[in-house]
């Protein structure tokens, strides 16, 4: 008897897991967008609402891009929400002397916080959770100290170049959205087409094997935490430019939102696996869900947190189930 081969490999658990990680968030995002357009029509799918969602998403995308590098490398960064707020406050403080100090001051201070995270995690080998929790408290406290415990709000003059650029629109697209798109494009190339990106994946998969391969494990870990802090700082500067002020209370819970976007996008918290396109879809999905809840009008904004939490739990359960099935398929000859 002759066996006929179709040439198509069988679908395995590992294949399903990979497909779910790569295409799950974009497919759900597309479905939610269609549902929103049908249910709310122009109120949801209109140009003004789309611009609002894009602007709101841009800050989260910037932070989540940096978080993706950290998580793929096997780490976590809980400090980004506080760094985001600190950057906004320092941008407003620096704006009293001009646009250059408004940009340089937060980038310098926040970059140093990221460097501290990286050195303690990459060189001293302290647990990322503990280190970034400490810098979360430090950055938030510094933001309140700079604003006199929140009693003094520094305003950014409207005639500054920073303000004009931050509030400008190009072909109807806000500057923060353009910056987020540009950063995403560059990060996509870095993660997928450079040795640094390959090292991030390798270290997240197995730090011991990466060291045996001669990869600079400590240096890469330091770099991803500096990158994460700098991108959070850029988001904070853009928010300050948009609102013409710096508030120490913004960004509370933003680190959890960024982690949720990364995980929903298919990146494993254990490291070594993940994509930036998934992160982008995850961030947009969270903001679209929030916008849909606002469209209803009768629901509190806290329902967005409930929906996001349930959705994140479902994603983790599905990832866990598919990963286990993939391991079983690999063990079966």
Place of tokens 């590098």: 69
Q: Helix or strand or coil: residue 142?
A: helix
Q: Give residue 4's pLDDT.
A: 45
Q: Helix or strand or coil: residue 151?
A: coil
- Which residue, 206, 319, 197, is CA-closest to 267? 319
Q: Give residue 3's pLDDT.
A: 47
Report strand pairing: 169-170 vs 245-246.
Answer: unpaired
- Residue 272 is given by DSSP the state S
Report strand pairing: 169-170 vs 173-174.
Answer: antiparallel
Tell me how far apart the alpha carbons of residues 43 and 65 are, in angstroms, rounded to a whole number: 29
Query: Mean pLDDT of successive 10-residue segments in the chain (333 residues)?
Result: 48 56 76 89 89 94 97 96 96 94 96 98 95 96 89 86 90 93 97 96 94 94 98 96 91 91 89 93 90 78 74 72 55 49
Please enumerate in sequence order all residues whose Cβ is within 8 A of that of 259, keeping only pairs 6 or more positions apart, or say none: 67, 71, 76
pTM of the model: 0.89
Q: Give residue 6's pLDDT.
A: 45
Tell me how far apart the alpha carbons of residues 333 and 326 are, in angstroms, rounded to a whole number: 13
Tell me how far apart the alpha carbons of residues 132 and 140 are, in angstroms, rounded to a whole number: 12
Query: What is the rounded end-to-end Cα distance, in angstroms, of the chain?
Result: 23
Q: Give residue 299's pLDDT.
A: 66
Please enumerate in sequence order all residues whose Cβ is within 8 A of that of 184, keeping only pairs 6 or more positions apart, or say none: 61, 65, 276, 280
């Amino acid at each position: 008897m002759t066996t006929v081969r179709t040439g198509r490999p069988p679908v395995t658990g590992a294949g399903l897991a990979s497909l779910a990680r790569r295409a799950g968030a974009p497919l759900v995002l597309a479905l939610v967008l269609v549902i929103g357009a049908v249910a709310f029509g122009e109120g949801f799918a209109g140009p003004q609402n789309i611009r609002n969602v894009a602007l709101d998403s841009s800050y989260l995308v910037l932070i989540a891009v940096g978080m993706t590098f950290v998580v793929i490398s096997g780490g976590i960064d809980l400090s980004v929400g506080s760094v985001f707020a600190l950057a906004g406050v320092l941008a407003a403080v620096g704006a009293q002397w001009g646009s250059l100090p408004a940009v340089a001051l937060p980038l310098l201070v926040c970059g140093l916080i990221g460097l501290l995270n990286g050195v303690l995690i990459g060189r001293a080998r302290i647990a990322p959770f503990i280190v970034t929790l400490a810098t979360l408290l430090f950055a938030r406290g510094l933001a309140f100290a700079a604003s006199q415990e929140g009693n003094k709000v520094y305003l950014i003059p409207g005639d500054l170049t920073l303000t004009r650029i931050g509030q400008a629109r190009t072909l109807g697209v806000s500057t923060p959205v353009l910056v987020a798109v540009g950063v995403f494009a560059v990060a996509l190339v870095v993660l997928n087409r450079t040795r640094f990106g390959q090292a991030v994946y390798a270290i997240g998969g197995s730090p011991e094997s990466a060291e045996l391969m001669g990869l600079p494990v400590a240096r890469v870990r330091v770099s991803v935490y500096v990158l994460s802090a700098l991108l959070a700082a850029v988001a904070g500067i853009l928010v300050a430019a948009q609102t013409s002020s710096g508030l120490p209370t913004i960004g509370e819970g933003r680190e959890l939102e960024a982690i949720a976007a990364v995980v929903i996008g298919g990146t494993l918290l254990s490291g070594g696996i993940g994509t930036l396109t998934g992160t982008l879809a995850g961030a947009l999905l969270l903001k679209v869900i929030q916008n849909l809840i606002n469209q209803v009008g009768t629901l509190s904004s806290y329902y967005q947190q409930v929906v996001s939490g349930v959705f994140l739990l479902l994603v983790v359960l599905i990832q866990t189930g598919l990963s286990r099935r993939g391991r079983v398929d690999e063990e079966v000859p």
